[in-house]
Amino acid sequence: MTTTIADYVIVGAGSAGCAIAYRLAEAGKSVLVIEFGGTDMGPLIQMPGALSFPMNMSTYDWGFQSEPEPHLGGRVLATPRGKVIGGSSSINGMVYVRGHALDYEHWEESGAAGWSYADVLPYFKRMEHWHDGGHGGDPTWRGTDGPLHVSRGTRENPLYQAFVDAGAQAGYQVTDDYNGKQQEGFGPMEQTVHNGIRWSAANAYLKPARATGRCDVIRGMAERVEFTDGRATGVRLAGGQLIEARAEVIIAASSINSPKLLMHSGIGPGAHLREHGLDVRVDRAGVGQNLQDHLEMYIQMAASQPVTLFKYWNLLGKAYVGARWLFTKTGPGATNNFESAAFIRSRAGVRYPDVQYHFLPLAVRYDGQAAAEGHGFQAHVGPMRSTSRGSVTLRSGNPADAPKILFNYMSDPQDWTDFRTCIRLTREIFAQDAFAPYRRHEIQPGEDVETDAELDVAIMEHVESAYHPCGTCKMGAVDDPMSVVDPQCRVIGVDGLRVADSSIFPRITNGNLNGPSIMVGEKASDHILGRSLPRSNAEPWIHPEWQTEQR
């Protein structure tokens, strides 16, 4: 079989992998990126408003599913991951959230030295090209010339402002930039969209990396990492081709595929690997453990006025939206339509927000099925920091087989308390005067669902993944038996191998994970190149009365 050589071999052309490829190529290194998926060209990916299509297409999605979830009545939940250039940034909802400053303080306290907010903020600024759209925000907290364009929707629909006004009427903070000084509160939502086009990691990073002439993409299925004398020296593809790395191999294959590839390479829980006939190179108990995600529920209201996106929910309307986007890159097709957001605390004594809202002026499911009621609107809501943990394990010793994914959702009794709180807080927001001109009645879970027991049934039946899996190759101290990588993203126990993607998150961040995943790629590239940005001394806002006030 042919052998191809580069300085660095990256497995996965996703959010982190593309960022690393760009920074290494920019620094003069030769880079080969291995990606199993195909091209990201075509309107279904590039048109933001079409976001429900690519994540439901086997062309672009690995098609993973959870095992039957024991605390959700045995439900099997879809676990989409991007199988395409750009990875999940090519099929996601394009919501851009850095996470809360205190998320990163927790990372550092749990052993990820050098990943505090002061350390990561300069990387968020380096990666961003921020467009405020005239909606406020403090530019000193944001980046202005990075590869990743971050914008805000036009917010023309009156429901977007109604949501923020309702939050203020309910007594919550209003924030003009949840990615700036103050995450807590209601305000405009940000998206990785530029001039009406999905600004994926492929558009932001991989295309410019390839333009340098030092970065190439090889299409293939990575089966295992190859080692020589304890050092990673290449990646073996299905079919036998070897891709050799002069310097290092970097795994950026997602929180599902990164631990899987490590295990097939002999790095993981020893007994589990032996069970599947695999030789154990490094017995690392944490590989595939610590799996986390965000669950959310769609609280849906029927609308009393035809102001929602439902007016386009027919053949003629969809044709209009598509044609307008194709010719002008404007209109409902040029946005993910999540243009208002909120981060709130569920109760007094919680130091920073633990509940997130996405607001959508349409009552619709993630698979694109509109509510039977016609005109409506919804808030996606869920707790941010569940203590439930799951795992990614091998189904067999065959690299072609999908792994077993068990999130173990809702396994902590506190999860049920928190979710009931989320639903009740949302109802209170929708009951404010700001929504009076627009609200008819509650569609989901329905006004007759009130008691704890009734809410629990609704939660069990209707919660959905927000598609934020992470944590399966935890970054931490070298002497922590559950750490998989050290704070430089190096796999503990071997040389020349790193993991850099959402799998290394010690704990899930507040909000959507695409921004933090790209940040991990940016920071990992500096660790690889032996450099770092100076720390920030910016002071984030924390509610001064958090110990005694919920809002």
Tell me the two tokens of residue 342: 């909120």
Tell me the two tokens of residue 110: 């749990």
| Structure letter (DSSP) for residue 71 | G
Rounded Cα–Cα distance for residues 194 and 451 (Å): 45
- The DSSP annotation for 94-147 comes to -B-----HHHHHHHHHTT-TT-SHHHHHHHHHHHEEE--TTS---GGGS-BSSS
CA 289: distance to chain centroid? 18
Q: Are 379 and 442 in contact (CB under 8 A)?
A: no
Binding residues for FAD: 84, 92-95
Q: Is 326 exposed, middle or buried (CB count within 10 Å of its CB: 0-12, 13-18, 19+)?
A: exposed
Q: Are 248 and 227 in contact (CB under 8 A)?
A: no
What one-letter code names the amino acid at 394? L
User: Pick the catalytic residue: 194, 264, 272, 468?
Assistant: 468
Binding residues: 84, 92-95
Residue bearing tokens 């969209």: 193
Q: Which residues pair with 357 in a beta bridge?
A: 342, 381
Rounded Cα–Cα distance for residues 331 and 324 (Å): 7
Rounded Cα–Cα distance for residues 506 and 485 (Å): 10
Q: Are 264 and 224 in contact (CB under 8 A)?
A: yes
What one-letter code names the amino acid at 121? L
**Which stretches within 237-341 are classed as H helix?**
254-264, 270-275, 315-328
Q: Which residues pair with 393 in a beta bridge?
A: 404
Rounded Cα–Cα distance for residues 82 and 92 (Å): 8
What one-letter code names the amino acid at 367? D
Catalytic, 264? Answer: no
- HEC string of 361-414 equals CCCECCCCCECCCCCEEEEEEEECCCCCCEEEECCCCCCCCCCEEECCCCCCHH
Rounded Cα–Cα distance for residues 406 and 258 (Å): 16
Q: Which residues pair with 502 in a beta bridge?
A: none
- Annotated catalytic residues are 468
